[in-house]
Chains A and B, each alone.
Chain A
Amino acid sequence: GAVVSQHPSRVICKSGTSVKIECRSLDFQATTMFWYRQFPKQSLMLMATSNEGSKATYEQGVEKDKFLINHASLTLSTLTVTSAHPEDSSFYICSARDRRGGPPDTQYFGPGTRLTVL
């Protein structure tokens, strides 16, 4: 149980284009989903928190107009990188918190999406 999928697993795009990444909780409903970014040899950095049906909360320094997050249902959140540039190339990872909630608020992570912007 507690499986999270991401699509696509890898994407290469040209500079200036937009890329959408999907995150799905396959066997549970996710009250909250999270988006992280990880550069090579670095740790995961939380970008934003998204709750179903409401606006995402972005961490300090993350441009909300560049990284659009939509959490349209309890099993799907999407991250759109708009007008992507080479510096946006990174490993993007989502996680989901089970709707049943309560401690210990364990998160389940997707396998990640490798974005390369040429």
Chain B
Amino acid sequence: DAKTTQPNSMESNEEEPVHLPCNHSTISGTDYIHWYRQLPSQGPEYVIHGLTSNVNNRMASLAIAEDRKSSTLILHRATLRDAAVYYCIPLTSGTYKYIFGTGTRLKVLA
């Protein structure tokens, strides 16, 4: 299983963009990169996923490095509701198992 490294915590001002990095240098060529977030006392919520090229959806953008050893989740305008723990999870093809790392706790300042 690919290991991940994320900052323990980050802060952002409300309505400013946030870039959440993730290092997954041991990822293999067919592993998708998933991002989830977890609000206090709730189950994780799907944010976005990608394989090679950058991806956008209504929640966020995912920028994947050309060598796929790292990725960055981009929240274009942080709101107070975006305060959560963000997890990046490389999914080993065929196993279906998510291995959660420690994630990044995002604090959004009003």
CA distance A106 to B57 in the complex (A): 15
Interface SS majority for chain B:
loop
Question: Which residues from 35 to 51 on chain A have a C-beta closer than 8 Å to any C-beta of chain B?
Answer: 36, 43-46, 49
Contacting residue for A44 out of B30, B44, B91, B93, CB 8 A = B44
Across the interface, B91 reaches (CB within 8 A) one of A36, A95, A105, A111, namely A105
CB-CB contacts of A74-114 with B at 8 A, as 1s and 0s?
Answer: 00000000000000000101010100000111111111101
Contact B91 A104 (CB under 8 A): yes
Q: Are A112 and B100 in contact (CB under 8 A)?
A: no
Report the minimum CB–CB distance from B8 to chain A (whole Å).
Answer: 11
**Residues A112 and B43 in contact in the complex (CB < 8 Å), given A46-B98, A104-B32, A105-B32:** yes
18 more A-B contacts (CB under 8 A) besides A104-B34, A104-B51, A107-B96?
A6-B43, A43-B87, A43-B103, A44-B44, A45-B100, A46-B98, A46-B99, A46-B100, A93-B43, A93-B44, A95-B43, A104-B32, A104-B49, A104-B91, A105-B32, A105-B91, A109-B36, A109-B44
